[in-house]
Structure 1
Amino acid sequence: MLRATSALIEERGLRAMTTDDIAGRSGVSKATIYKWWPNKYAVAVDAFLSAMDMASTDPDTGLAHNDFQIVLRGIMEFYRGPGGRTFAQLIGEAQNDSAIATELRNHLMQTRRDIGRTIWDRGVARGELRPDIDREIAVDLVFGPALYRLLTTDAALDDAAADAIVDAAMRGLSAM
């Protein structure tokens, strides 16, 4: 059902897709859908999260700079594809639907932030990163520009941009 939902979002867009479409494409009844999800947006969030989870890991290369680069490159690669368009649509819907906002925050944004926190904590423990900087702000500095680029600009979401963002952030965050 989640693959069918992802395909429908890509083909028709989030707003145009209906619960009937999901049921028809996936071969399940609307009752089954509503048993597990309150609306099509909740199904879309789960479909998006299942795809995003495949794109996110903690690389642990031994250097915080490299770890942040790898993770940000993965995020930007995902944003360049259909998932990025879906995510932008979900962010838009979340402005008017607190359930979508909560799902995105709890099941997507926090998992990405958890990876960033882990990288940060390892870097501080190894003496690479400044312990006097608030961890949440540091994670914002590294990952925030990708989301900003996705939602508000037509700036590149490629490896070179990811590397430049991490390089710039690390200049201010590095302990050395």
Structure 2
Amino acid sequence: MAIRSEQSRQSILQATMKLLDERGPDSMSVQQLSIERIAREAGVSKTTIYRWWPSKAAVIIDTFLENHILHTTLRDDLPPVDALREHVISLAKVYSGHEGRLMAQLIAESQYDPTTLEAFKTLFWRPRREVVNRVIERAIAEGSIRDGFSPDELAERIYAPIYFQLLFREGSFDAKSIAAGFELALHGIARPSA
């Protein structure tokens, strides 16, 4: 495995983000973007990019993750339901702007490209899902969310409205609306009172 030059890596990630930034003069969609264009913008060879990433999708996902994770952390110092609520609101805030449109394009591209879908699941979806599932497991263990459902099933009920809004551009990503949606999902999965 090749040793990455951190300077080259940052140049590639910054070039990718610049090219995907719809506010820029050279903006392009995920579908339009190519490894050749990223290499030219970053001042590196295509071989350099392919040595570190297997596909265009992997470069884009790494670029996305470089910024996304910093703004959507799932805290472990809060009660689990509070941590989930805070995470859903922070995710919606990030998705209300450019990163949301980029995420929607990645999801769309993955629908007809199996390589992109697998890269998306491997690099982004599954690792984030594992973090969310651990918090849901804590909530089940403490009794704030009822048991009888898998963490995956519960996560789908909590996060699906955000991805629905992201893909269909329906509803609002403001904190109040997202918090209300979370409470609606929580009410449906909360342990029934005695």
Q: Normalising by structure 1, what TM-score?
A: 0.90
1:165 aligns with 2:154: no
Aligned to 2:3: none
- In structure 1, C-alpha distance between the alignment counterparts of 2:40 and 2:107, rounded to whole Å: 26
Aligned to 2:109: 93
Q: 1:140 aligns with which of 137, 149, 156?
A: 156
Greater RCO structure (CA 8 Å; 6+ sep): 1
Q: 1:129 to 1:35 in 2, by over 3 A?
A: same
Q: 2:120 aligns with which of 104, 121, 141?
A: 104
Larger helix proportion of the pair = 1
Superposition deviation, residue 42 in structure 1: 2.6
CA-to-aligned-CA distance 1:31-82 (integer Å, 9 cap, x gap): 2112223432332122122222222322135433311111111211121121
Q: 1:7 aligns with which of 4, 18, 25?
A: 18
Is the Cα contact below 8 Å between 1:130 and 1:173 reproduced in 2? yes
- In structure 2, C-alpha distance between the alignment counterparts of 1:134 and 1:38, rounded to whole Å: 33
Aligned to 1:46: 62
- In structure 1, C-alpha distance between the alignment counterparts of 2:180 and 2:127, rounded to whole Å: 23
Superposition deviation, residue 83 in structure 1: 1.1
Q: 1:74 aligns with which of 84, 90, 93?
A: 90
Is the Cα contact below 8 Å between 1:57 and 1:115 reproduced in 2? no
Q: Normalising by structure 2, what TM-score?
A: 0.83
Aligned to 2:73: 57
Superposition deviation, residue 166 in structure 1: 1.2
Is the Cα contact below 8 Å between 1:72 and 1:143 reproduced in 2? yes
- In structure 2, C-alpha distance between the alignment counterparts of 1:139 and 1:130, rounded to whole Å: 13
Unaligned 5+ segments in structure 2 are: 1-11, 22-26
- In structure 2, C-alpha distance between the alignment counterparts of 1:19 and 1:126, rounded to whole Å: 48
Is the Cα contact below 8 Å between 2:164 and 2:170 reproduced in 1? no
DSSP-derived class of the 1:28 partner = coil
DSSP-derived class of the 1:132 partner = coil
Identity %: 27
Aligned to 2:44: 28
Aligned to 1:150: 166
- In structure 1, C-alpha distance between the alignment counterparts of 2:160 and 2:20, rounded to whole Å: 25
CA-to-aligned-CA distance 1:68-113 (integer Å, 9 cap, x gap): 1111112111211211111111111101111111111122112222
CA RMSD of aligned residues (A): 1.7
Is the Cα contact below 8 Å between 2:61 and 2:124 reproduced in 1? no
CA-to-aligned-CA distance 1:109-159 (integer Å, 9 cap, x gap): 122222221221111111211112332111101011101110013311121
